Amino acid sequence: MNIACVFPGQGSQSIGMMNGYSDFPIIQQTFQEAADVLEQDFWSLVSSGAAEDINSTVNTQPLMLIAGVAVYRAWISSGGKKPALLAGHSLGEYTALVASEALSFADALKLVRFRAQAMQQAVPDGVGGMAAILGLEDSVVEEICHEVTSSSSGESLEAANFNSPGQIVIAGHKNAILLGIELAKSKGAKRALLLPMSIPSHCSLMQPAADRMRQQLESISLQSPRVPILHNVDAKSHADDTAALKEILIQQLVSPVRWVATIQAFAASGITHVIECGPGKVLMGLNKRIEPQLHHSSLADSEAIKQTIGNLSAQ
C-alpha cells in the first residue's frame, strides 16, 4: 500500500467548513499559530464570517493553506500513514511544501498572503476572467484558445486547469473568455460557463504577479522536501533542487495546473490510495474520474479521518 496526500486550493472554502473537526485540538492550534503570524483571526472568519470576506482572494489563499496544514497535522498525529508522494492543486502546492517540510508554515503563510495580493493587483477588475468547459477533448479546448487569441487584437485566452478528462478551465481577457465560451458551445461542449472569479489565474496575464513572486522568494529559505511533491507545472518531482522549487512556484502562476497528469503520475509510480487533506471533496471527485481504479478518500471531517485510518489499518 502506497498513499499520496493532496491538498485543495481556492474553490473549496465555505463558512463553517472546519466545524466537523472538533475532535482534534491540533486544528484550532494550527489556526492560532497562523493568527500569531498574520495577525488575523481566521478561525472566526471561517466559523462566522461573511461569505464575501471568506471568498476574497487575500483571505481565501491563507485560509485554505491553514485548513490543509491543520487537517494534515490531525491525520499524522492520529496515526495516519505517512504519504509516499504529495501534490496540491494550485494554491494547495504551498500546503504540500509545508507538509513535506520544504517550507516553514510561517513562511508559507506570508508567501500566500503576498501571492494573493500580487494576483489581485496584476489585472484590473473586469479585465480578466475564467470559464469552465465541460465535455470537450483537451486538444479541442486548446484549439479554441489559439483561435480566439489569434483573432483578437492583443487579447489572450489560455487553458488554465486540466482538472479531469473533459473538464478544463480557461483563463484570459474577459472578452476573449466570452468568445471562447461561444466557440466551445458551437463545438459540442456539454457546458461552458463563466466562473465567478475576476482573477485570470494560471495564464500569461499573471506575469506581473510572477515577477513580484520572484523577488519575494529571494528572501525565503527552502529545504529539500522530505516527501517528494509532484508539481502543477510538469507533474514531476524536483526534490533535490531548491532553486528549481522556487522557479516552479514562479512558473505556476503563468502555467496551467496539470492535475490530470499529476494523478496519472501517482498511478504510474505505484500509488494505491489518494487522500484529500482538507475540507470538502472537490479533489476526490476529480481524482475518481482521472484514475477510478485507485482508492480515493477525503478527510472532510473528524469522522472521515478516523474512518480512513481504520480502513487503511485493516488492509
Q: Catalytic positions, please? A: 90, 202
Ranges of beta strands (E only) in 181-265 are 191-194, 257-258
Cα 124 off chain centre by = 23
Helix (H, G, I), strand (E, B) or coil at 74: helix
Q: Are strands 167-173 and 157-164 parallel, antiparallel or unpaired?
A: antiparallel
Amino acid at 222: L
- Give the Å distances, CA to CA, from 244 to 10, 234, 241: 24, 12, 5
Residue 6: strand pairing partners: 87, 276
Phi/psi region, residue 296 (left: phi>0; alpha: psi -120 to 50; beta: rest), is beta
Alpha helices by DSSP H, the chain: 25-38, 42-48, 51-54, 57-77, 92-99, 105-122, 138-151, 174-186, 207-217, 242-252, 259-268, 282-290, 302-313
Tally of CB atoms within 10 A around 315: 8
d(CA 293, CA 267): 9
Enter the DSSP assignment of 146. Answer: H
